[in-house]
Structure 1
Amino acid sequence: MLKRNGLILLFVLLMAGSSNAQTKGTFAIGDQSFLLNGKDFVIRCGEMHFARVPEPYWRHRLKMAKAMGLNTVCAYLFWNMHEKTPGQFTWTDQSDAVKFCKIAQEEGLYVILRPGPYACAEWEFGGFPWWLLKDKSMQLRTTHPYYLERCRNYLLEVGKQLAPLQINKGGNIIMVQVENEYGSYGSDKEYMGKVRDYLVEAGFSVPLFHCDGPSQLIEDHRDDIFAVVNFGSNPESSFKALRKVQSKGPLMCGEYYPGWFDSWGRPHHNGSSERVVKELAYMLDHKASFSIYMVHGGTTFGLNSGANCPPFLPQTTSYDYDAPINEAGQVTDKYFALRKLFSGYLQAGESLPEVPEAMPMQAISNFKFDAFASVWSNLPAPIKADSTMTMEDLNQGFGCVLYETVVPAGPASTLSFNEVHDFALIYLNKTFLGVIDRRKNKFSIQLPARAKAENLKVFVEAMGRVNYGGYMHDRKGIIGQAVLKDQQNNVIKTLKGWKHYSIKLGDENPPVKYSAANYIEKNTPGFYKGRFQVQNLADTYLDLSNWNKGVVWVNGRCLGRFWNVGPTQTMFLPGCWLKKGMNEVVVFDLFGVAKPAMRSLEKPILDVLNEPQAKPHRTASQQWTLPASAAYATGSFENKAEWQTVNFKPTNARYFCLEALNSHKDNEPYATVAELYLIDSHGKEIPRNKWKVIYSDSEEIQAEDGKADNVFDLQSTSIWHTQWEDASPKYPHQLVIDLGAMQNVSGFKYLPRQDSPNGRIKDYRIFLSNTVFKDL
């Protein structure tokens, strides 16, 4: 009997080993296609960030992706979610990347892992931990020793968690990304190689790849790292750019944009379903793989939304993205259009499962606020310093800092800062004077005459750290000096002797003392505590349209930032974070409300703006012309979507004018431009961080975001578009840019509008000058 039991045990162990061996697969990059277990495979992928989806909903959202027709999901890791404190790693609950990947495998989906160290993704600091900026010498995304040390430590921890889930070990991770869109930031290929080596050291043996935009690939591509290309339209053109750096291998779009993200104070973005279906069909017909960014955007919970710069544009908490699966996980028309498309391209043995039922929604009206805590009554002990300290200097990652000092007696003057990151309320002896707003480059405010020395308060709120481009070293608070200036703009006094009060906000409610709220003083930052009852644990949207600006927590969970400037006026509240019976809500509002009240809705408010939009870069009567004989260069653009480069004799200039004479469509009055770069005498792109539009003869700012500034906002999907709703002025159209300093210019690069041929410029003139053009 004992011998028989031993034989049975041996048989079971052998079968278990055999079964485990069968679950292991292979994934490789062939000369023409991806190879899954040795067979041609087209990746139909969609991006989904587990950090932006409540953990209890992960399976539902993955089922939604599978039912739409995807076979893979792309997953970013955000370093700052996993290492909030140096050396202390978190891989549980909302940060449980292993669980997300395993659920994806259970639902029949492969995973493309994007571990960073840099992500972007409109996420705070591009995913970097804020504490990296405590090092004053820090140079992100370079071979800076401390930066590399921390990157390696982080990626080795990633490997411990996720390397066992690779397909060749029985898991579902088929590819891993090296860095992210590095060519949009730098060109140090040694750095790219080091990140690649860290991933190999971490145990990743599946194919590694990198991604970038069509024109940036040349900057960061190495022959030993597979390349994919990111774009929002025109796949044919973008794949041609990919082939220039990589002559063989399967074609893949690493990020294909079906919509776009939103920024505070700017209109909500939408993406055409017709265009998305057409372009994805093109890719499928050419057996090109893709990842839809985003298939489901979700919500940037907590204080994790990022910002773009320049201009400084902090992003909204809602990351709806006009994705096929909306913020609450519901299907859209775009979802069904893509499901229909993908059903015609299924591989052998594939079938589409039924679409999961939508999560239930509810509206709640029984909110009651009964307690208030003024910031002024809940200040911590101050940190004193002669000069202003940044938030990072104060060992603070998120929230607000109250700066306090004394201003001397004197006549009316201007309080001027080098910069304030990002939004500040200014008080003199408790009298509210106004705000500083980084979005508007507004870094000064008028002070009244003072018969005696008075107390100055500068209450600074940090919004998201810049997540893309050259401004990522984005420390928060008062940056540099604060000075008083006279009417002639002369510095009277540099303010010293500062007290710093840290008001830390974020994952948990701050520890404040509440009292009964009978009267709320206007323009006083404070916390409002309320309660509401529910019986159904269903999703809802908090309506914040009657509040001002701040942060919301429900049952201790930080839902994110709100701001009544819009475009979004609601905040997604997942039902899985509610509890039956009484629930608690806390609202931090910078400006205060006299009668706090709230309700919730079944549908979001995503497109209501409550502040004046940017004014055109011209006065109503201003017209500007230059004689053709003054043009420094003339020419014609091709009627195509690719980048086009124009070279001319090098010259020094500070002011650049592009004058569009006509479009490729006969009698079309519109001009459009996606991006412009100037080139120096070495063929390098001139930095655009100091550029400023000083004149544009026409901009569409009512029906869409067609501002002239869009030509240097780092986004190929946003454009300068001349007017078309209320008026359609005819050609010529002029755009004049102040480069911020004298530059040696030998040409420029022009990116036409990507999503449509409308407004593509044909003939042009270029004007250059050392001084501002006479008529301006």
Structure 2
Amino acid sequence: MQAFLVRLVGLLGTSGLLVMHQGGSSERVAQAFLRPSQIKDRHVGLQVKDSNFTLGHFPFLILSGTIHYFRVPRDYWRDSLLKLKACGFNTVTTHVPWNLHEPRRGHFRYTGNLDLIAFISLASEVDLWVILCLGPYIGSDLDLGGLPSWLLQDSKMRLRTTYKGFTKAVNHYFDDLIPRILSFQFQEDGPIIAVQMENEYGSYKTDKRYMPYIKKALVTRGIRTMLMTADTGGELMRGYVKNVFATVHLKNIKKATYENLYSIQGASPVMMTVYTAKSFDVWGSPRNTLDLHLLMKDVREMFQLRFSLNFYMFHGGTNFGFMGGSASSNVYLPMVTSYDYGALLTEDGAYTPEYLTFQEFFQSVTDVPSFWKPENRPKVVYQSVAATYFISLWDILPYMDKPIRSTRPISMEQLSVNEGSGQSFGYILYETVITSGGLLTSDGHVKDRGQVFLDDKYIGVLDHAHQQLTGYKDYLTLRILVENQGRRAYGPDINQERKGLIGDVYLGSSPLRKFKIYSLEMQGKFVQRGLPNIWRQTLFQPHGPAFFLALLRLGSHPEDTFINMKGWTKGVVFINGQNLGRYWNIGPQETLYLPGPWLQPGLNEIVVFEEFKSNLMIQFTDSSQLGY
């Protein structure tokens, strides 16, 4: 913003917007900085009074930070929340990922790392308010923006609209989700002070009836706390819903943004729902960086104008498993495993220099007493271990579920697996017999990255950038191993984000036919004790695609560490059945975070699925290496 906000107040004084952005002294800010333990009257929740928020009739300033419970190991939720409080924040914001909570149609999960109620309860215990972003679309750089992939089984699906197939699924989801959180609303003595509807709908808006439908869906199910929308400055009016408080993201903030805010909700407080230091990183590109001095300049100006603020992310955490999505900027950009995001805590929950700077600033302007600050957790360097056993992917196929036979290619979403809900993540293998040679052309139908083999001989890759391969002989099994690298998290094309082979692949001028299709979703139960007892000793250095097994023996108190996959090429790492995420030697990320609670005293099984060349040695370090 570079002093833009301060100048803006002067520019807007003649239009009546000055009152909307009036600043206050530090004493006034301190009086508005209330925690749950300080409010006894719970009859009136978060409201707008002139240019201020009130909560329980008291002036109130929201100072929030985003923590995604699903990106932080459950054992460390309390640590992250206490560090949020100690920094000077009074509120935690979190998003609720539909695709993780309903991975199969009608099957809901709220346990372990997905125990939303436990996270909300813990926030209340440590004296923090909660802003809950219910979606159903949340963005958050997740696969399909947090929408379940089984929605795309409907070939006519129109996501984020009032299309009957979408609203029926949303209603079923809300019928299960909303009753779980009703008793945690402010009016019920709970910590939830606001609920965000959808996310940045103004940038997507294709159905003017959709946001009013979401509002009604929440209110009729008992949501009584303040409802909010959240849009970038340029899309504010397109995402606005009557009688719903409009908040803004930092992006595209201009004079017109504040004029629009005033036109729809008068001299109201300003809530900057997403103030972000940087952004996510993508494979094959340099790491994003931040400018702390510019960051603090913006925040100081927002405090002078008495803006409420949400810092995205306070603790980014990790895209464990395959949860990360992708972006598009003329080219396909799959996100790395770390969701460090330039947050005030590192991926593993350690303090950053930015955290200490913000803590000092918040204490100076809020006049709130400092709180006990947890120590950083120790990190250890375990002794390197060798992957002494392996199984090639081809050897394991006979032990898997029977393949699906199909004349034409079938996308992941259309497979008859997971009780008819299709395949969401991981890999999928297509096999067919060819009887002639020639040019293999994907015609853009490989989503996202397909390794091509003749029998077990690697030929090349088909992906977004490479759509042709040559040199095939007669009467061989042609195999295409396709990886879903993450569905787009946002944009108008998410309705088309099906994965695997989404259409015909041609050999010469003829489309390939008669496929055997193997689902390789690689869920935890498949990796942990699910692999057959046909491990072979690695007497030489085998090439992938293959599974590699290493055993790590630990003492009685395992602690956090990082796995360095130097010398390996591309794949996925599992520890005791937990999917740590992807690695890839094109960078920028070089290490994978391994939380101590996912380790156990005694033997720990590390299984690596390596697509190409292995190093056999698995190394550990006590610091993350996320690139430059």
Q: Which has the higher Rg, Structure 1 or Structure 2?
A: 1
Match of 2:521 in 1: 504
Residues 534 and 521 of structure 1: is their aligned pair in 2 closer, same or farther, counting only changes over 3 Å?
closer
- Give the Cα separation in 2 of the matches to 1:246 and 1:407: 65
- Give the Cα separation in 1 of the matches to 2:317 and 2:441: 41
Match of 1:447 in 2: 471
Q: Does 1:602 align with 2:602?
A: no
1:313-357 deviations in Å (ceiling 9; x for gaps): 11111000111111111111110111111112216xx32213210
- Report if aligned partners of 2:42, 2:56 keep a CA contact under 8 Å in 1: no
Q: Does 1:409 align with 2:429?
A: no
After superposition, residues 605-684 of structure 1 pair within 5 angstroms as 605-607=625-627
Q: Does 1:50 align with 2:77?
A: no
Q: Does 1:354 align with 2:372?
A: yes
1:301-320 deviations in Å (ceiling 9; x for gaps): 12111111352111111000
Superposition deviation, residue 152 in structure 1: 1.5
1:129-157 deviations in Å (ceiling 9; x for gaps): 12111222211001111210111121232
After superposition, residues 571-582 of structure 1 pair within 5 angstroms as 571-582=592-603
Residues 125 and 432 of structure 1: is their aligned pair in 2 closer, same or farther, counting only changes over 3 Å?
same
Find the residue that maps to 1:481 and give its secondary structure: coil
- Give the Cα separation in 2 of the matches to 1:146 and 1:186: 18
1:76 aligned to which of 95, 114, 118: 95
After superposition, residues 148-159 of structure 1 pair within 5 angstroms as 148-159=167-178
Superposition deviation, residue 21 in structure 1: 7.4
Match of 2:360 in 1: 340
- Report if aligned partners of 1:405, 1:499 keep a CA contact under 8 Å in 2: yes
Superposition deviation, residue 454 in structure 1: 2.7
After superposition, residues 549-568 of structure 1 pair within 5 angstroms as 549-568=570-589
Q: Does 1:316 align with 2:336?
A: yes
After superposition, residues 79-118 of structure 1 pair within 5 angstroms as 79-118=98-137
Q: Does 1:191 align with 2:191?
A: no
- Give the Cα separation in 1 of the matches to 2:618 and 2:182: 46
Letter of the 2:243 counterpart: D
Residues paired across the two proteins, number: 576
- Report if aligned partners of 1:537, 1:575 keep a CA contact under 8 Å in 2: yes
Residues 453 and 320 of structure 1: is their aligned pair in 2 closer, same or farther, counting only changes over 3 Å?
same
- Report if aligned partners of 2:439, 2:468 keep a CA contact under 8 Å in 1: no
Find the residue that maps to 1:343 and give its secondary structure: helix
Residues 180 and 233 of structure 1: is their aligned pair in 2 closer, same or farther, counting only changes over 3 Å?
closer
- Report if aligned partners of 2:317, 2:349 keep a CA contact under 8 Å in 1: yes
Residues 272 and 242 of structure 1: is their aligned pair in 2 closer, same or farther, counting only changes over 3 Å?
farther
Q: Does 1:397 align with 2:439?
A: no
Moved more, 61-70 or 531-540: 531-540
Letter of the 1:443 counterpart: Q
Match of 2:404 in 1: 383
Ranked by relative contact order (alpha carbons within 8 Å, sequence separation 6 or more), the top structure is 2
- Give the Cα separation in 2 of the matches to 1:413 and 1:87: 44
- Give the Cα separation in 2 of the matches to 1:183 and 1:176: 17
Superposition deviation, residue 55 in structure 1: 0.6
Match of 1:481 in 2: 504
- Give the Cα separation in 2 of the matches to 1:516 and 1:27: 62
- Report if aligned partners of 1:79, 1:128 keep a CA contact under 8 Å in 2: yes
- Give the Cα separation in 2 of the matches to 1:561 and 1:46: 27
1:453-479 deviations in Å (ceiling 9; x for gaps): 332111111111111112213111012
Superposition deviation, residue 64 in structure 1: 0.5
Superposition deviation, residue 230 in structure 1: 0.4
Aligned sequence identity (%): 33
- Report if aligned partners of 2:565, 2:590 keep a CA contact under 8 Å in 1: yes
Residues 224 and 187 of structure 1: is their aligned pair in 2 closer, same or farther, counting only changes over 3 Å?
farther
Letter of the 1:444 counterpart: Q
Match of 1:436 in 2: 462
- Give the Cα separation in 2 of the matches to 1:520 and 1:168: 65
- Report if aligned partners of 1:157, 1:202 keep a CA contact under 8 Å in 2: no
Residues 235 and 99 of structure 1: is their aligned pair in 2 closer, same or farther, counting only changes over 3 Å?
farther
- Report if aligned partners of 1:508, 1:558 keep a CA contact under 8 Å in 2: no
Superposition deviation, residue 518 in structure 1: 2.6
Residues 244 and 313 of structure 1: is their aligned pair in 2 closer, same or farther, counting only changes over 3 Å?
farther
Find the residue that maps to 1:29 and give its secondary structure: strand
Match of 1:530 in 2: 550
- Give the Cα separation in 1 of the matches to 2:516 and 2:488: 27
State the TM-score, normalized to the length of structure 2.
0.88
Superposition deviation, residue 545 in structure 1: 2.3
Find the residue that maps to 1:418 and give its secondary structure: coil
Q: Does 1:249 align with 2:275?
A: no
Letter of the 1:416 counterpart: S
1:201 aligned to which of 190, 212, 220: 220
Match of 1:14 in 2: none
Residues 221 and 521 of structure 1: is their aligned pair in 2 closer, same or farther, counting only changes over 3 Å?
same
Find the residue that maps to 1:598 and give its secondary structure: strand
Match of 1:419 in 2: 445
Superposition deviation, residue 300 in structure 1: 1.3
Match of 1:651 in 2: none
Letter of the 1:365 counterpart: Q
Match of 2:153 in 1: 134
- Report if aligned partners of 1:166, 1:206 keep a CA contact under 8 Å in 2: yes
Residues 507 and 147 of structure 1: is their aligned pair in 2 closer, same or farther, counting only changes over 3 Å?
farther
Find the residue that maps to 1:103 and give its secondary structure: helix
Find the residue that maps to 1:345 and give its secondary structure: helix
Letter of the 2:536 counterpart: A
- Report if aligned partners of 1:326, 1:332 keep a CA contact under 8 Å in 2: yes
Letter of the 1:442 counterpart: H
Superposition deviation, residue 225 in structure 1: 1.5
1:650-700 deviations in Å (ceiling 9; x for gaps): xxxxxxxxxxxxxxxxxxxxxxxxxxxxxxxxxxxxxxxxxxxxxxxxxxx
- Structure 1 gaps of 5+ residues are 1-18, 486-491, 609-776
Find the residue that maps to 1:392 and give its secondary structure: helix
Match of 1:459 in 2: 481
1:493 aligned to which of 496, 499, 510: 510
- Report if aligned partners of 1:390, 1:479 keep a CA contact under 8 Å in 2: yes
- Give the Cα separation in 2 of the matches to 1:107 and 1:233: 35
- Report if aligned partners of 1:365, 1:598 keep a CA contact under 8 Å in 2: no
- Report if aligned partners of 2:41, 2:56 keep a CA contact under 8 Å in 1: no
- Report if aligned partners of 2:129, 2:191 keep a CA contact under 8 Å in 1: yes
- Report if aligned partners of 1:214, 1:242 keep a CA contact under 8 Å in 2: no
Computed over aligned residues only, the root mean square deviation of the Cα atoms, in angstroms, reads 2.1
Letter of the 1:368 counterpart: A
Match of 1:472 in 2: 494
- Report if aligned partners of 2:324, 2:486 keep a CA contact under 8 Å in 1: yes
Match of 1:373 in 2: 391
Find the residue that maps to 2:300 and give its secondary structure: helix
- Report if aligned partners of 1:366, 1:533 keep a CA contact under 8 Å in 2: no
1:530-554 deviations in Å (ceiling 9; x for gaps): 1112223211111112211111111
- Give the Cα separation in 2 of the matches to 1:244 and 1:20: 32
Letter of the 1:428 counterpart: L
Match of 1:693 in 2: none
Letter of the 1:358 counterpart: N
Letter of the 2:564 counterpart: D
Residues 582 and 453 of structure 1: is their aligned pair in 2 closer, same or farther, counting only changes over 3 Å?
closer
Structure having the larger proportion of residues in helix: 2
- Report if aligned partners of 2:324, 2:336 keep a CA contact under 8 Å in 1: yes
- Report if aligned partners of 2:185, 2:225 keep a CA contact under 8 Å in 1: yes
Residues 346 and 261 of structure 1: is their aligned pair in 2 closer, same or farther, counting only changes over 3 Å?
same
- Report if aligned partners of 1:417, 1:478 keep a CA contact under 8 Å in 2: no
Letter of the 1:457 counterpart: R
Superposition deviation, residue 241 in structure 1: 5.3
